[in-house]
Amino acid sequence: MDRPRALRNISPPDSQAARLVQAMLPRAARRLGLAVACAALASLFQPYAFSSSATLSSLQVQQRAAAPAPVTPTIDTPGAPSSPDPRRMGEAVRWLMDEEAEKPPEWHVLLLDKTFEIRKNTVYRVTSSLMSELPLTLAEARTKAEHARDNFFSILETTPEWSKAIRTAQSLQRLGLSVRVVPGFDREAFRNAGTGSVDAT
């Protein structure tokens, strides 16, 4: 039986729904795939974002919590002792004498063995230096130089004038010799004291 013409253009409800579903299926699939991809990307980057934000917050907390280093208190300690007076410990001419002793009757000018610690001060040079400043012969000057070298010192001159002994010592020091001035003693009184002690025994 033929349908009326007005009803021929109307499809059955089931066939229209099927075509609608078929038309919408690719679009829904694309949307679903896009949603799944977005969810996957979000799940991949979410831990890093969380960890980076956590690290940043922890650094900020550490910076705020940092305290200044304790200051070590400075304690005043005594410094090194001062060095001896160079005028007393240097190479200047000086003599050894007790402050309470009387004025010595004579002064000795000594040549020290320290003179020969300098390389240029040979026996020949020291001998010529002594002859230029003292009234000594070549043999006397050489004997005094060798005696000082081998026996710690030798007596170059003995004089009762302190100023003369100082001038002689200073002139020899300018020539590079190690010289000292020391006080002498009363030899006559020493002999008398020795003779008296012998007689007493």
Q: What is the CATH number of the domain that holds 145?
A: 3.30.1390.10
Q: What is the pLDDT along the chain (201 residues), one digit of tens a residue?
A: 455 554 454 445 455 655 655 555 566 666 666 676 666 666 655 554 444 555 555 555 555 555 666 777 777 676 666 766 666 666 665 555 555 667 888 999 999 999 999 999 999 999 999 999 999 999 999 999 999 999 999 999 999 999 999 999 999 999 999 999 999 877 776 677 766 544 433
- Please check whether residue 95 lies inside any domain of the structure: no
For residue 22, what pLDDT is reported? 57
Please tell me the total count of domains within the chain: 2
State whether 53 and 106 are in the same domain: no
- 107, 173: one domain: yes
Q: Which two tokens stand for residue 103?
A: 């004025």
> Is there a domain that residue 4 lies in?
no
Please tell me whether residues 31 and 108 are part of one structural domain: no
Say if 94 falls within a structural domain: no
**Shared domain check, 114 and 54:** no
pLDDT score of 186: 73
> Does a structural domain hold residue 34?
yes
Q: pLDDT value at position 90?
A: 63
pLDDT of residue 28: 60
Model pLDDT, residue 50: 46
pTM of the predicted structure, to 2 decimals:
0.49
In a shared domain, residues 140 and 189: yes
Residue 32 falls within a domain, yes or no? Answer: yes
Range of the domain at 47: 15-62
> Is residue 114 assigned to a domain?
yes
pLDDT value for 74: 72
Domain final residue pick, 62, 94, 118: 62
Domain-located, residue 186: yes
